[in-house]
Structure 1
């Protein structure tokens, strides 16, 4: 996540995201084709996550190259819908990240209401609203804070997204019980109407939420906002796209308006927004145009303080030295003869430059060659009359193994007439950023390894579900520790959560189906057990499939002893060879055969006459049902 563009003379590094590695030109051509064909512009998305999502869809349909997939899109218009559903990860919930929402309700909304004059309309924008849980959460929050009727009269919430399917679901405002499981019961009763297995958001408050398709990278922003909520959306875009979006957000918000970002997103250095609560990612707009001056208006040449401009040379020099001392990083001034003429307070502290060093040749000082040899760089910068930047220069501190990292900027200084005066050397401390990037890389590698392991075990549904849950908990912990640098981790986390929800849905369907099968099996066993006659069911190979209780009582063989055994090889009191013909006929002709009477011996060794009837098994080719009934002789 990055903020609006910093001035070029300071040019702070964007934290959390480095420039991404070049991507295959065929992928770029595919993205341009998608934009031109369907109006979905993904060119501003991070290439790493975007390529991973498209590859996932390509794997599902057995397509290997970007070119082949573009051909598939050209001949199959329906494939666009499947692709967009794969790329656009719609993971959301009511009051997601409860701690952040609690702070918004307790601290921010009261400030918004206090700043609104009289009956002034309060305008709110939920950018990237997905299936609607976020804007409806905002409606509930404002209704709770100011009362339902006043909320209906004064609050207007705009909810936008690029996914038209998600917008249709959001407009309906209908959710299952699972979506509302974390919502307090009191809020559920006040703001939702229960209808069977679903809940509908109350219609009067629903009409204050306006849904529409909007691309935050291309379309004009909604203006005059008191609150703009865009959570876990910016992290999918690259640095350049993030800057443009922040510029639009700055324009959209009214003076003093609030910006609410996701927990993995961050504004670094910005003169347009100030942090209200960094932990909860809530910022406040300070000015539309940098330091408050309208674009194109030049500062006045005359000074606002005559005593400064009319003072003597000593006072000017004192002002110049004071300005140098308050610089946030180390700055050295070298004249044209290579003599050190000035050093900022930070430079003197960090590099041990004393007052006696001012006026000495720069080449005699340790700073000229350690941590990096800058004398040749100064010469090159002055000869070529251009700024030279050395990024990530390492400096060892004392005898320890700890290191500091600096961006060294050498800038030639010349008069208005082009006469070279010397050069300035700036040492900008980027240690925290470099170390943080190393840590992010390590964590990302660990996460990618864990993700591959999750994929390899996806065949076992319950095990995968547990591992995914564990992975999400690890991601949440990592996100808390990394704060502003885990955009890529949060992206992966949402992908995992989306897959987890799909797996949970499949698991529920399998559980219901298994329950239905168990009920059916129990019912059939009950029916067979309730029949007073001995019943045996054979498959097309005359293997025993079922052996009811009456058959156990008559012949003394348990069901588990005979199941999956060949019926005509069983040795019990019934002469099975004598009934082979009627069984074969029932199977071959698919008709009922018998009854025939055979002499048999029951489990107690008593002789009895047994009547045999055979019927074909309905719905299964070759199966036979044998009914054995003892005959009472007068």
Structure 2
């Protein structure tokens, strides 16, 4: 769409109805902070005057300084720029800028201004406006994030996306400060990441949405095309959306199609087949990540006060509280549950294990949740106590502490086709079922029942329910949608059918993976037999004791213990072997070999004596390995025979164990005392560091806010400086071009500045600035100028004088008071104008008038010449005597008069001699009057210094 194609009525106000109907034209919210003034100027410079958009700019402004944004940005755009006012109606083709020390929202197409309630360091004006814009304009809202530090605007963009709007973010590489753009991009809330010069085209090409969009997307009228699209999406991504609600996926498919400028669903299906990256982009758009900390505060209050106390009542240190947060998005809900459990344990002094499984289909969202890093704007969602208790403040956000992070396990999971977690105390699945068709909901509800323990709790969103499955769940809270799992096996049949499909999906095709054994030659076969018959039972481990390879029967020495499976040899060793084996491994780590160490271990039949050795092996694939071999000494000593021998061996074994036990106790006690001492010191240091850290965090928060404001003010001042520099350049060129000497003096008549034309009056150099003017030699004699300047400074009455210099130049000197913009006298201004030409012109005119008067009164022929022998005046008798006219005489050289009849050599000699002649007889044949003898008399008039020289010639009548 081109600007000329926009509607004709471009200046109509926003058409709204109680803030629920979108404007008749797009309203664009723009957030910028540090470095944002330059970016805003570049953006507005690209917008034509008739764009049809309205723009609302929100930035971090210093509350104690007047904003220059309006004045500066007006010079960069053809749009009308206004500072926002309360209840101001937004109109198209206009720009509105937030004032300092204000929060701004939009309701019903009108801007609302309020005084911020938050302290200086906690304000997020961009988020505040974007959220109100999303609520007011719904899926017509447009949000743009430009240069800025921090994370303000990220949650605002999420609100716009949730409303179905469009979000644009400046590419971080092109931003002067990339904090805000990077935060929005990493959070996944940018539908377009563009340089500034590409944003207008994207805005103009965004899909046109009518003021009242239909409830059912138009593309759903093409069901075959939608089916093909979902089929292609399943083939490429492996995820099936066929049972998602058609309205939901239809709107998102429509948006992706509009971005690719495709109207037909079948064409788009073919496009997906040839462009897998577009399929993945569509997949990301279909995933709806709507979450926040403690979303639906009332529901979490119910969970905290009634649900968790009942679930945690019988928990002990030997039990595990198991919970599953399905469709967790970026993890806020899982961490919210973890916080409540941690607070519950602290309050009741209970100590039990917690495992919260948090899963989602979106791997990018899981990566964000796994990192546990959230923008500064989450301070709006969490209390100060919870922020301090569960989060660490960093430069651009908050990071979850390790204690809370250890309670949650994040994983990518497709809840529809992957097996569920089981034996759960609590299952949270909020804001997923509303996007699924009833068929799929009826499959998931029994799965949730199967996953929960009897009396376990299912937690849904306020828009969801268990449907007809009242035989599986009893209602705990109808308002907040808490359900208790009933002790019934009614869900088993449905789940077993799904388990068969899960098993089928993960079944490995053994026929394809089995390989035939390689044939070995006789020598290799012989080596294997020799090792089998003559090599002792042994294991190969790494330096940490992890078993890498086992040879022979080691069941007499190693035993697989109950509990979590492990392959560390220290956990596998039988009673009696552990201490000696640990010492041998330690020696091997120091490069010492243990050979034929004798030990006695307890077996089912009594005690068995054997020897073991620990040797280092050559490095294998860069890994250091150990060889531990075992060799029997005697047959097992049984209790039924040789009781005396058995008792002696048993006594020796008991004595050895008691000795080892005493040594271990002493070592343990010494270690405990040392650790207690170190722990006390660390605890004291930690408390001091914690106190210091809190103070630093507070100071840092304030400094960050002040820094944002200073950067913004600095950008405005820099723009003002650039403007002043341009004006100074204009003034400098003006002063240089008017050829007038100017000297600026302060109140003490010291030189402030001067122009180059003033150097013809005062011989100044740049280093003379600051010196008194009377220290500088002038070409004008006397000190009349300084006296006049002193008088002007006292009386404030301008003075004007004509001065004559030594080089025969006339100067007009004007002396006026120097006034500031506040009309305060702060010195004087001297200007010098060369008026020599004007003076000479006036003198010439006066001389001509005089000559003309003289000529008029003389009866004899008379002519007046200037220094170049041009006729400046002639008497009437001259014209009559020589048959000439004024037009052919005045202004012409005498030698050219009357077709050159006055071009007489004797006359030339007389005039060139510059002498006065009298009664000179000149005989000449004049073509017009014939041979004549005329009597010439001349006189040279020198005049004053500035008057031109005149030659007066009188002619007696010719005879």
Q: Normalization by structure 1: what TM-score?
A: 0.46
Q: Normalization by structure 2: what TM-score?
A: 0.31
Q: Which has the larger radius of gyration?
A: 2
